[in-house]
């Protein structure tokens, strides 16, 4: 089950963190990869590692908030592989503040990075999927797209990720006629390059231990299974859904 040999998977934000972990997980299932991020040197190193797993890997430097760059990346991927079967919208960034302190600039930055970019990348790649009458789109959202929190003030991030979840539902409904599924994954607290400084604080660790039933942060690779499943043929009747990988955080 979950054999991805012959499939081409695009992962944005793949130079580190959850994107890198998922890209590696797809490669282990036999998929060829297109990995995208802003740091080309880092991407090329990742691509070399992925190729040792016996698959092809194309690194593309791309700012996912730049429409022209995104469209060119899609064209490059199609020119190299001839198709794209799976798209994972993982790239993102955030500037944190509460509603009373949030500036227009920081709000707009977060919305562009976390929500508008998902629209732009989906638009660029989904048109090729529609031509092939096949596709799997996986949007990485967040538990913060479904709930508020008292651990930190980050109103723009909550709002952008909530938008990603409903964008997922809209796209699922619109593109079903092309045999394209669209689902979201909402990670809980995973320690990555972007989150390590926050999660390692004593205050946040205490918050996590009392709010996450499993009592720990997500470990490296624990998001991969959900992504691989949604990318597979076995998930062909699942669309418009949001899978929470959060240690039980949103269950209580």
| Known active-site residue 249 | no
Phi, psi of 59 (to 5 degrees): -85, 135
What 8-state DSSP symbol labels residue 66? -
Nearest to 29 by CA among 178, 235, 191: 235
Residue pair 94/110 in contact by the 8 Å Cβ criterion: yes
Q: At 132, is the secondary structure helix, strand, or coil?
A: helix
Task: Quote the tokens at residue 107.
Answer: 């709000």
Coil vs helix vs strand at 182: strand
Let me know: does 46 contact 122? Beta carbons within 8 Å.
no
Residue 225 — φ and ψ, nearest 5°? -60, -40
Which of these, 176, 51, 81, lies nearest to 126 by C-alpha position?
Answer: 176
Catalytic residue among 128, 134, 144, 157: 157
Q: Cβ–Cβ contacts within 10 Å for residue 88, how many?
A: 28
Residues taking part in catalysis: 157
């Amino acid at each position: 089950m979950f054999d991805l040999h012959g499939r081409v998977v695009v992962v944005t934000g793949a130079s580190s963190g959850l994107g890198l972990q998922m890209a590696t997980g797809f490669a282990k299932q036999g998929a060829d990869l297109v990995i995208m991020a802003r740091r080309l040197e880092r991407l090329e190193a990742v691509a070399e590692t992925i190729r040792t797993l016996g698959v092809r890997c194309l690194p593309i430097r791309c700012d996912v908030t730049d429409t022209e760059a995104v469209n060119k990346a899609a064209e490059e991927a199609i020119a190299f592989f001839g198709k794209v079967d799976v798209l994972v919208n993982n790239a993102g960034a955030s500037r944190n503040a509460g509603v009373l302190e949030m500036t227009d600039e920081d709000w707009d930055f977060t919305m562009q990075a976390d929500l508008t970019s998902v629209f732009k990348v989906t638009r660029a790649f989904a048109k090729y999927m529609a031509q092939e009458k096949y596709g799997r789109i996986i949007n990485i959202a967040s538990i913060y797209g479904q709930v508020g929190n008292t651990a930190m003030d980050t109103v723009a991030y909550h709002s952008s990720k909530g938008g990603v979840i409903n964008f997922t539902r809209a796209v699922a409904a619109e593109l079903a006629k092309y045999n394209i599924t669209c689902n979201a994954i909402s990670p809980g607290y995973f320690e990555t390059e972007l989150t390590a400084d926050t999660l390692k604080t004593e205050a946040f660790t205490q918050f996590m231990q009392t709010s996450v039933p499993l009592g720990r942060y997500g470990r490296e690779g624990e998001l991969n299974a959900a992504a691989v499943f949604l990318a597979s043929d076995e998930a062909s009747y699942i669309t418009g859904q949001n899978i929470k990988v959060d240690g039980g955080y949103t269950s209580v």
